[in-house]
Amino acid sequence: KKKKKKKKKKKKKNKYQKKKLTAVLQNTKRGNTTSNQLATNTSNMLPQHQMLTLAIAMLFVLASGVAGQQLKGNQEDPCKVKGRVVGDEVYCDRYWECVSNQPELYDCPNGLVFAGKHRGVTEGCDYPWRANYCEGKQLANGPLSTEHCDWLYGIFGHETSCTRYWTCWNGTATEQLCIGGLLYNENAHSCDWPENVDGCQKHPLCNDDANGNVPLGKSCNRYWQCQGGYPRLQRCPAMLVFDRHSLRCVVPPTEECDIPTTPTPLDGEGENNNVGGGQLSKDEQERKLANEGVPPLPLQGKNFQRARN
């Protein structure tokens, strides 16, 4: 009977100690109890053989408290906002996300900055020039460059051509071409009218008129059409010839050309090139220019880079 009474008393005491310990741990998690106070309180409540288990529990609780205190200064807590994601207060290429009810810090892909949840090109991050994302902030990470790419993600000017540029995605570069007489504008990060692009010289063939027509040798149905100072090879519509005096396609005959027959395709020209006025590819056009004794497009190699700078 005495043993039973003693056992009941011990059980009641353990229940009281457990309840008190739970209260202490909760206060610690809320930040109302320091680690020293926790150690003092628990050492008086538990025998030594249970202290090791408790020490592990204490470390876990304190670590959870530290994780919640990573936010500094005026940094907004992502766990207290609806979207659960917020930008970093200092660095525009970092953001905070609420994970398991704790704020976690993330970096945008190299070359991108935080734009907001479900915005930008990937992972809530966007190209920095699309908006004032970095106004009053700085970058936490420097560029990681690969061939043709200054950053792993971005759009960059071509090394030797004013009409081409590179789009980079995770360090892989893809060459793109501006069409319709446009040139790549590095300030706007897009194709633009030639007059808005500094550092790109005009082709000598178009010196007289940057947007005029130029005869092609002795050809009666082919001519060069200058678009913003750059020549594009064109062909007159069926049954018309190019007039060297009016510099346009007219009904024959003219002084140089009689009524045309079915035109013979030029070397390197296929059926697909006849669409839309019969434009040739850029490389084919430059070969044709060379055959006509016209100098190649300027700004090649180092000369191009100096002009751009």
Which tens digit of pLDDT belongs to each residue from 173-202?
Answer: 999 999 877 889 999 999 998 888 887 766
The reply to whether 136 and 178 lie within a common domain is no
Give the pLDDT band (50/70/90) at residue 207.
confident
Token pair for 100: 């398991």
Is the entire prediction scored with pTM above 0.85? no
99, 120, 142 - which closes a domain: 142
- Residue 151 maps to a domain: yes
The reply to whether 102 and 128 lie within a common domain is yes
Q: Rg of the chain's alpha carbons, rounded to an integer?
A: 37
- Residue 173 maps to a domain: yes
Q: Which is more confident, 70 or 63?
A: 70
96, 111, 142 - which closes a domain: 142
- Residue 282 maps to a domain: no
**Interacting residues of 179 by C-beta distance below 8 A, sequence separation 6+:** 191
- For 67-115, write each residue's pLDDT tens digit: 444 677 688 888 888 888 999 988 999 999 999 889 999 999 999 999 9
- Residue 295 maps to a domain: no
- Residue 132 maps to a domain: yes
Nearest to 130 by CA among 163, 158, 153, 96: 153
Structural domain span for residue 215? 204-250
Token pair for 277: 């006025």
- Residue 34 maps to a domain: no
- Residue 82 maps to a domain: yes
Token pair for 154: 């971005």
For residue 136, the domain's CATH number is 2.170.140
The reply to whether 173 and 215 lie within a common domain is no
How many structural domains does the chain have?
Answer: 3
Taking residues 161-174, what's their average pLDDT? 93
- Residue 166 maps to a domain: yes
pLDDT value at residue 229: 75
pLDDT value at residue 75: 84
